[in-house]
Chains A and B, each alone.
Chain A
Amino acid sequence: MTSTLEQQATELRERIAAEVPWRTVVWDDPVNLMSYVSYVFRTYFGYPREKAERLMLQVHTEGRAVVATGNREAMERHVEAMHGYGLQATVSRAES
């Protein structure tokens, strides 16, 4: 019983992972203001202030942050939008 449930959970996780194998990554650059990056995350993605600030700080301190995951087409739309805002963004496949 337990093992069946565990197996189902594992399968579910794998299926979700297979459905969202792409990422939008925003990279740190020395130019953009922190307040601007955070405002872009909130306005474009609709993220609450706290999440937008956390992602912005992650970009700033760690050099990059995954700001969205999903299918490839959606990630390419996000990256195009980020480029429109002047942010350095790339599409990458999530590591399995």
Chain B
Amino acid sequence: MIVAGRSGGEGVRLVLESEEAMLLSELADQVDSVLLLGEADDPALGRLLPNAYPDDMSASHEFARYTRDSLVDGKRQAAQRVRDATAVESAGDGVVQIELDQSEAWGWLTFLTDLRLILAERVGIIEEGEDTADETRDDYLRAAYEWAGFVQGSMLEVLDPTDS
């Protein structure tokens, strides 16, 4: 994957191998499913939709009642846009090029965050640097987690260069 600036404009240009595009499309579809199914006992949802009032149950319910639908909608839309932008017919089709303006790039950044929050929950990343994961089960998910972080970090370096 190549992450670069856009010639003559703000935003970011992504070049993905078709295998990478397929993987990302699949992961985006899974994020959408987690949000669509919204199973109350799924701890990943607690990371995507945190409790705004941990010490006040009734305020917490009120907040969730007023915000949850639009938060879920926004997150699902971001995931669906990534899924659609990376949809390829089959592997081996060469590369997929994607141009994102500033606002589209934000959709990708927030999607990558949600993806990493879900993957972190699945592989048991609880404390920074602490490895409590079941490695046999989670190698694939952990690799996807690291990769999504790499993509997000690369996008941020383009969108927000620190040495300027």
Q: Which residues of A contact B (CB under 8 A)?
A: 29-33, 35-36, 39, 43, 76, 79-80, 83-86, 88-92
Q: Are B116 and A83 in contact (CB under 8 A)?
A: no
Which residue of A29, A36, A76, A90 is within 8 Å of B54 (Cβ)? A90
Which residues of A lie under 8 Å from residue B147 when comparing CB positions? none
Which residues of A lie under 8 Å from residue B52 when comparing CB positions? 76, 79-80, 83, 89-91
Q: A32, A86, A91 — which one has the most chain B CB atoms within 10 A of its CB? A: A86
Tally of contact residues, B, Cβ under 8 A: 37
Q: Which residues of B contact A (CB under 8 A)?
A: 47-55, 59, 63, 67, 70-71, 74-75, 106, 109-110, 113-114, 116-117, 120, 125-129, 149, 152-153, 156-157, 159-160, 162
Q: Are A91 and B63 in contact (CB under 8 A)?
A: yes
Which 10 residue pairs are nearest across A and B when measured between Cβ atoms? A86-B113, A30-B128, A80-B67, A35-B156, A31-B120, A88-B50, A79-B52, A39-B160, A31-B116, A91-B52
Which residues of B lie under 8 Å from residue A86 when comparing CB positions? 48, 110, 113-114, 117
Which residues of A lie under 8 Å from residue B110 when comparing CB positions? 84-86
Nearest B residue to A37 by beta-carbon distance? Answer: B113
**A58–B128 alpha-carbon span in the complex (Å):** 16
Nearest Cβ on chain B to A39's Cβ, whole angstroms:
5
Nearest Cβ on chain B to A47's Cβ, whole angstroms:
13
Which residue of A30, A36, A89 is within 8 Å of B50 (Cβ)? A89
Which residue of A33, A43, A83 is within 8 Å of B49 (Cβ)? A83
